[in-house]
Structure 1
Amino acid sequence: MIDIVNQINATHREIGNRPVAAGEGRSLLLRRAYDAVIEDVWSACTDPDRISRWLAPIEGDLRLGGTFQLKDNAGGEILRCEEPHLIKVTWALGEGMGTELEVRLARGDDGGTVLELEHAAPAEIVDEMARTYGPGATIGIGCGWDLALLGLDLFLHGTTFDPATWGDTSEEKEFAARSCRAWGPVIQAAWGTSDDDIAAAIAFAEQHYAPEATGGDNR
């Protein structure tokens, strides 16, 4: 069983501005602590076999300057790799959709690990998506990363699951729905979006990630 409320509340979420190679950028930042030593979390984020057990199968030349491709997901180039603290890659889902992903690890005071995931994209891409799809597009991306960080936590605690299908259960759909709601006020605080637009954005993202989930709040 997943403790959905505690899992939602375990992650800090924010929207900011972060330069990318192309210039001005916008970013989503997620931060959470894991009850695992930094070497274990680093291995889970960089070892191909372990990545496939919580995120997706991965292939490529997995070294600094090499490339990677996640099955049915993003691919890119490995820009920085500083064990056990930092990995930075380009993250492309299609032509003209290049973004940058940075994962930072730090030792926690309790012997665990604090992970920061920052996904940055050129400002013009983010702004165009917001104009076309509303803030729901950003909420959806944030929800996707929430699901990934939940998968990492389950994996580090020894839970066996298929990352390609585990999101089909009612538990994971309810987690996804609550994640969408958690991102709502973050987007609103960053962009001053109206209550009506945020409500529509949450509904848009929930329909994609959790069409059958119902009810609940984040408390």
Structure 2
Amino acid sequence: MIDIDTQLSAIQREVATRGTDGAEEVAVLLRRRYEAQAADVWQAVAEPDQLRRWFTPVSGDLRVGGTFQLEGNAGGEILTCEAPHLLRVTFGAPTSILELRLSAADGSTLLELEHTVPLELAGSGAGALYVGPGWDGALLALGLYLDGEVAEDPAAAGNSPEGIEFARRSVHVWAEAITASGAASPEEVTAATEASLAQFAPATA
């Protein structure tokens, strides 16, 4: 059993729209601190043999300039890989950019995950609801893995009743973060919340 409230509160969430006319984007930022060395967190997120144990298998030409494909998920191009601090890739589309930053302090590691997409693709800051809960689930799974709790089947764990309940609450936490950011109208947040629940927590939608 996991303490869902504690796991959700361990993540800081920010949503913002930025840029100039014609080049505006929606940025989704998650921060979580792990009681592990940066090198260990890096290996967990960047080594294929470890990634499949808590997230999903990855294949491809895994080097800068190469491409990757996550099983059952998105793929893209590897833009930057500077171990053990920075990984930057396209994710699902050339204009969808995922950046993972690690910084060490006193034996722990701060992980920052930033996902940016053009505003025209996201629609508004409410578009964060289509990716944020999924990243919450990934950061939860990473934390459990770093604590030595390895699921036999990560996908099954995410689709378990406990995993679905975590996702349901995550959707509502993201809706609150978007509302607080002012990056979307109440109507946009409501519509995106319903769509996100259907996507990430269908048993409760």
TM-score (ref. length: structure 1): 0.84
The match for 1:54 is 54
How far apart in 1 are the matches of 2:203 and 2:63? 41
The match for 2:83 is 83
- For the 8 Å contact 1:18–1:120, the answer to whether it is kept is no
- For the 8 Å contact 2:80–2:86, the answer to whether it is kept is yes
After the TM superposition, which residues 26-175 of structure 1 pair with which residues of structure 2 at under 5 Å, given as runs? 26-92=26-92, 98-109=95-106, 111-127=107-123, 130=124, 135=126, 137-161=127-151, 162-175=153-166
How far apart in 2 are the matches of 1:16 and 1:205? 18
Structure 1 residue 120: Cα displacement = 0.6
- For the 8 Å contact 1:140–1:180, the answer to whether it is kept is no
- For the 8 Å contact 1:76–1:90, the answer to whether it is kept is yes
Structure 1 residue 106: Cα displacement = 0.4
Structure 1 residue 97: Cα displacement = 6.6
CA deviations 1:179-219 (Å, max 9, x no partner) are 0111112111222522x6534433332232223349xxxxx
How far apart in 1 are the matches of 2:195 and 2:25? 24
Relative to 1, partners in 2 of residues 1:59 and 1:186: Cα closer, same or farther, differing over 3 Å?
Answer: same
The match for 1:217 is none
How far apart in 2 are the matches of 1:205 and 1:25? 20
Relative to 1, partners in 2 of residues 1:18 and 1:78: Cα closer, same or farther, differing over 3 Å?
Answer: farther
Q: Which moved more, 1:115-124 or 1:184-193?
A: 184-193
Q: Which runs of 5+ in 2 are unaligned?
A: none
Query: Runs in 1 of length 4+ with deviation above 6 angstroms?
Result: none
CA deviations 1:40-77 (Å, max 9, x no partner) are 00000110111111111101111111111111211111
CA deviations 1:154-191 (Å, max 9, x no partner) are 11111121122212211111110110111112111222
Q: How many residues in Structure 1 have an aligned counterpart in Structure 2?
A: 201
- Percent identical: 46
Does the residue aligned with 2:90 lie in a helix, a strand or coil? strand
Structure 1 residue 104: Cα displacement = 0.1
Structure 1 residue 37: Cα displacement = 0.7
Relative to 1, partners in 2 of residues 1:65 and 1:119: Cα closer, same or farther, differing over 3 Å?
Answer: same
Relative to 1, partners in 2 of residues 1:74 and 1:8: Cα closer, same or farther, differing over 3 Å?
Answer: same
The match for 2:173 is 182
- For the 8 Å contact 1:187–1:193, the answer to whether it is kept is no
- For the 8 Å contact 2:76–2:94, the answer to whether it is kept is no
TM-score (ref. length: structure 2): 0.89
Structure 1 residue 25: Cα displacement = 2.0
- For the 8 Å contact 2:15–2:128, the answer to whether it is kept is no
RMSD: 2.1
